[in-house]
Amino acid sequence: MTFRYQRSYRGKLKAVIVDWAGTVVDFGSLAPAAVFVEVFRRQGVELTIDEARGPMGMHKRTHIQVLTELDSVRARWKAKHHRLPTDADVDAMYKEFIPLQLESLADYSALIPGTKETAAALRKRGMKIGSTTGYNAEMVAINQRDAKKQGFEPDCTISASDVPLGRPSPFMAQLAMIKLGVWPVEACVKIDDTRPGIDEGLNAGMWTIGVAVSGNEVGLSLKDWEKLSAAEQARLRDGASSRLYQSGAHYVVDSIADILPCLDDIEARLARGERP
Residues with catalytic function: 19, 60
- The span from the CA of 160 to the CA of 132, in Å, is 8
Nearest residue to 193 (alpha-carbon basis) of 14, 24, 16: 24
**CB neighbour burial string for 125-159, b if at least 16 within 10 angstroms, e if fewer:** eebbbbbbbbbbeebbebbbebbeeeebebbbbbb
- Asked if the peptide bond before residue 168 counts as cis, ω within 30 degrees of 0, the response is yes
- Asked if the peptide bond before residue 184 counts as cis, ω within 30 degrees of 0, the response is yes
- The span from the CA of 135 to the CA of 31, in Å, is 11
Instruction: Provide the terminal-to-terminal Cα distance of the chain, rounded to the nearest Å.
Output: 27
Query: Would you say 184 and 7 are in contact if contact means Cβ atoms under 8 Å apart?
Result: no
Q: Is 166 helix (H, G, I), strand (E, B) or coil?
A: coil
